[in-house]
Amino acid sequence: MPQRLGILGGTFDPVHMGHLRSAEEAAEVLNLDQVLFVPGAAPPHKPGCEVLAFEHRWAMLQLAIAENPRFGLSDIEHKLLPGRSYTVNTMRRLKEELPGAELFFLVGLDAFFEIDSWFLFTELFRLAEIVVLGRPGFNTGYIEDFLSGKVSSGYVRDPGDWTFRHPEMCSVYCLRNTRLDISSTRIRGLVAEGGSIRYLVPREVVGYIYERRLYRDIRRDCQKKE
């Protein structure tokens, strides 16, 4: 049967409560049947940064989502190796593998405003509904200006709604998600410094990180928040 599927990609190095809460709220607001977490295998936006092995990031995601029946995992980007993990290629393959499914691509607010630097980014707006994970108090006028200037002037905001429609391209939704100031960068730093990461990541993930002594020696040249 056709499904409404949320697609949440990222490095997930490691997965944290901010990722999980955003996915939960998107699933509830948009009435999604499932949210698929798609860990990147070789992210193109992280040259020069050491990313934890895919197997570890996959295992932590399995632990993090195990108790939520509406969350799922996809290793599609790992299957697409070798090569960089370009989002447009991932979405193309998902469309092929999930015929009839309505795809909702979930993207954080900061990443959305950088989407014009992604490979063949305008095609994403034809492959899936775009869901911008915003934050309380954010002015959606910035999104309207960005869409008109970078994507297509055909996008028009629905009156009284936070949705932008287009006659030929997919819709863009702006959600007012709970703002959790958590980043994978900060978590890795805390582990390296011997600090506590309790309540920032699921308990099972905390155990996995410490049992395998992950992030004890991290590189400092990759400071962008995730």
Residue 89 is predicted with a pLDDT of 92
* Mean pLDDT value of segment 109-130: 96
* Cα separations in angstroms, 134 against 22, 62, 221: 9, 26, 27
Residue 161 is predicted with a pLDDT of 83
How many structural domains is the chain composed of?
1
Over 70: is that where the pLDDT of 123 sits? yes
Residues in the chain: 226
Residue 140 is predicted with a pLDDT of 85
pLDDT digits (tens, 9 = 90+) for 128-186: 999 999 887 788 889 999 999 999 999 999 987 889 999 999 999 999 999 899 999 99
Inside any domain, residue 66: yes
Between the two ends of the chain, the Cα-to-Cα distance in Å is 34
Token reading at 214:
């992950």
Inside any domain, residue 225: no
Residue 142 is predicted with a pLDDT of 93
Inside any domain, residue 216: no
Inside any domain, residue 81: yes
**CATH code of the domain covering residue 39:** 3.40.50.620
- Which domain range does residue 159 map to? 4-181
DSSP percent split of the chain into helix, strand, coil, nearest 5: 35, 15, 45
Inside any domain, residue 108: yes
Inside any domain, residue 224: no
Inside any domain, residue 19: yes
pLDDT digits (tens, 9 = 90+) for 14-71: 999 999 999 999 999 999 999 999 999 866 655 556 889 999 999 999 999 999 999 9
Inside any domain, residue 142: yes
